[in-house]
Amino acid sequence: MKVINMSKSVKPVKLQEAKAEVLSLLKVLSDKVDLERKLGVNYLQLDPVIKDSLSSEENVITQPSTQESVCNNFDFYNEEKSVELNKSEKIEELGKLEEQVKKCIKCELCHARSNVVFGAGDPDAELMFVGEAPGYYEDQQGEPFVGKAGQLLTRIIESIGLKRSDVYIANILKCRPPDNRNPNANEIVLCSPHLIRQIEIIRPMIICALGTFAAQTLLDTTESIGNLRGRFFEYQSTKLLATYHPAYLLRNPGDKKKVWTDIKKVRDFLKENASLTRRSITNV
Ligand code: SF4
């Protein structure tokens, strides 16, 4: 057997140096991962869900198991999700969650906020609206959808025979992005667990996703809102229908008819499931 005399070579020294360097890099990497995990960063790949699996026949999309994995990975509230809560339990759970979210400093949006905008409405709502993020007035008042877009949302809700107090309204982000810029991917990943937990507690019969960010986040897709709107999907066994955001409608009033068409589908879904609903919807 050939014996290599390492004592005459510089190789062992270089090998040891390289090993030390690799160990040092691994330590840095490990510390970084630990820190980001503590901050709630999700290391699972957020694959587009919808891809080519759009069902043109039934117009219904069931999310694949990757979404469930992502949601489970988001679960740092460590709560029982399978239990259907009664209304007073929902109020209590939402209250506890709100207290946690008010202290949240997971992303940099915490620095400039005046108020956390947690969400508002009936904790036992059958219909839940999910928007994008608080704007100026929402940030000032700590309430979702209170500006002009909010007034339009109120009219949309009333157009199907409901009151604002009958539904629950929340956003993907709970703090206002500066100058109302679009949420970035990191903010969405860090803030989504709050919304996911809200949905788990409320368990609405149907979610109406308002605009690109709400629809794309909840459906884990990059499909455009123009393609997604007006169609029924499923989000964690809850029906979901996407439509345009009221702020978009203020800029593009010509598309109001499309939203009216979409929201009538929500109304019809609630009516068709009246025997299951917690309250009946008035005839409109
Ligand atoms: S936007 Fe969400 S994640 Fe960021 S600080 Fe506010 S509550 Fe926390």
CATH of the domain at 120: 3.40.470.10
The DSSP code for 229 is B
Structure confidence at residue 83 (pLDDT): 73
Q: Which string of DSSP letters, residue by residue, matches 75-135?
A: --S----SSPP-HHHHHHHHHHHHHHHHT--SSGGGTT-SS----EE-TT-SEEEEES---
Domain membership of residue 28 (yes or no) is no
* Dist CA 136 CA 71 (whole Å): 29
Q: Which residues have C-beta atoms less than 6 Å from ligand 1?
A: 101, 104-107, 109-110, 116, 173-175, 187, 190-191, 194
Residue whose CA lies nearest to ligand 1 atom number 3 = 191
Structure confidence at residue 44 (pLDDT): 39
pLDDT digit string (tens) for the chain, length 284 residues: 444 444 444 455 565 665 656 555 554 444 444 434 444 444 433 333 333 333 333 333 333 333 433 333 344 454 444 578 999 999 999 999 999 999 999 999 999 999 999 999 999 999 999 999 999 999 999 999 999 999 999 999 999 999 999 999 999 999 999 999 999 999 999 999 999 999 999 999 999 999 999 999 999 999 999 999 999 999 999 999 999 999 999 999 999 999 999 999 999 999 998 655 555 555 56
Confirm if 204 and 241 have CB atoms less than 8 A apart. Answer: no
| Distance from Cα 15 to the centre of ligand 1, integer Å | 46
* Dist CA 138 CA 119 (whole Å): 10
Structure confidence at residue 273 (pLDDT): 87
Pairing of strands 127-131, 168-171: parallel
Structure confidence at residue 174 (pLDDT): 98
41: closest CA among 253, 166, 186?
Answer: 186
Residue whose CA lies nearest to ligand 1 atom number 6 = 175
Structure confidence at residue 21 (pLDDT): 60
Domain membership of residue 252 (yes or no) is yes
One-letter amino acid for residue 105 of the chain = I
| Distance from Cα 221 to the centre of ligand 1, integer Å | 22
Nearest atom, ligand 1, residue 40 CA: 3
Nearest atom, ligand 1, residue 113 CA: 6
* Dist CA 253 CA 166 (whole Å): 26
Q: How many domains does the chain have?
A: 1
Domain membership of residue 230 (yes or no) is yes
Residue whose CA lies nearest to ligand 1 atom number 4 = 107
Domain membership of residue 143 (yes or no) is yes
Domain membership of residue 35 (yes or no) is no
Domain membership of residue 104 (yes or no) is yes
Domain membership of residue 282 (yes or no) is no
Question: What is the span of the domain harbouring residue 196?
Answer: 60-272
Domain membership of residue 40 (yes or no) is no
| Distance from Cα 36 to the centre of ligand 1, integer Å | 15
User: Could you tell which of 41, 98, 107 is best to mutate to test the pocket of ligand 1, judged by most ligand atoms within 8 Å of the CB?
Assistant: 107
